[in-house]
Amino acid sequence: MSLRYALLGLLAEEPASGYDLAGKFERNLRRYAWHAQRSQIYPELNRLAADGLVSVVEEGARGRRAYAITDVGRIELRRWVLDPNDEPVVRNEHTLKLFLLATLDVEDARKVLRQQAEGSLHEHERLRAAIDQADASGRAPVEFFAAELGARYFLTLHEWATWALSRLDET
């Protein structure tokens, strides 16, 4: 059911079409939080509309339909975000591969860990620069909390990969 709330969350910021939302998933969510294809988004939007959580607010060119979150949708979104939810399920193929590196021989693992250490440091610096630029322009801080978490996450990944490399060197 997370897809439903991801859509509500994106629509809570501004009205958007299914096509727009697919772009938002791609740009803002898929690397850290959630992924969805268009073929999943369109039917779910129709279900959300049928349930009264969103409504069509604009019909544009090429059959475009822009949706907005309703008051009922906002209440339901808030309920879900505030719900403590222990034991959330995580599926991260990238992290899984990092764990399984330890099952390969040392030279294979070293090579990939070096790439990982480098790549995550680069991602960290990219996000940090974007945050600093946004900070300077004096925007509302809460909008950048997610970016800050991303930056810290990639730094942690970098440090972990470096640590894992040193562990492999010990043996």
**Contact residues for its own copies, defined by CB under 8 A:** 2, 5-6, 9, 12-13, 28-35, 77-78, 80-82, 84-85, 87-104, 106, 108-109, 111-112, 115, 141-146, 148-149, 152-153, 155-157, 159-160, 163-164, 167-168, 170-171
CA-CA distance, 99 to 109, in Å (whole number)? 10
49 binds, among its own copies, DNA, none (CB under 5 to 8 A by kind): none
**Rounded to a whole number, what is the distance in angstroms from the first to the last CA of the chain?**
45
Nearer of residues 30 and 47 to its own copies, judged by Cβ: 30
Interface contacts to DNA, rule CB under 7 A: 1-3, 17-20, 35-40, 42-43, 45-46, 60-65, 89, 91
9 binds, among DNA, its own copies, none (CB under 5 to 8 A by kind): its own copies
43 binds, among its own copies, DNA, none (CB under 5 to 8 A by kind): DNA
Return the DSSP state at 87.
S
Strand partners, 136: none
Quote the distance between the C-alpha of residue 20 and its chain's center.
Answer: 16
Buried/exposed code over 72-97 (b: 16+ C-beta within 10 A; e: otherwise): ebeebbeeeeeeeeeeeeeeeeeeee
Dihedral over alpha carbons 38, 41, 43, 45 (to 10 degrees): -140
Nearer of residues 92 and 115 to DNA, judged by Cβ: 92
Nearer of residues 63 and 84 to DNA, judged by Cβ: 63
Nearer of residues 16 and 77 to its own copies, judged by Cβ: 77
Q: Which helix (H) or strand (E) holds 27?
A: none
Q: Nearest approach, Cβ of 12 to its own copies (angstroms)?
A: 4
137 binds, among DNA, its own copies, none (CB under 5 to 8 A by kind): none
Contact 25, 14 (CB under 8 A): no
Contact 56, 66 (CB under 8 A): yes
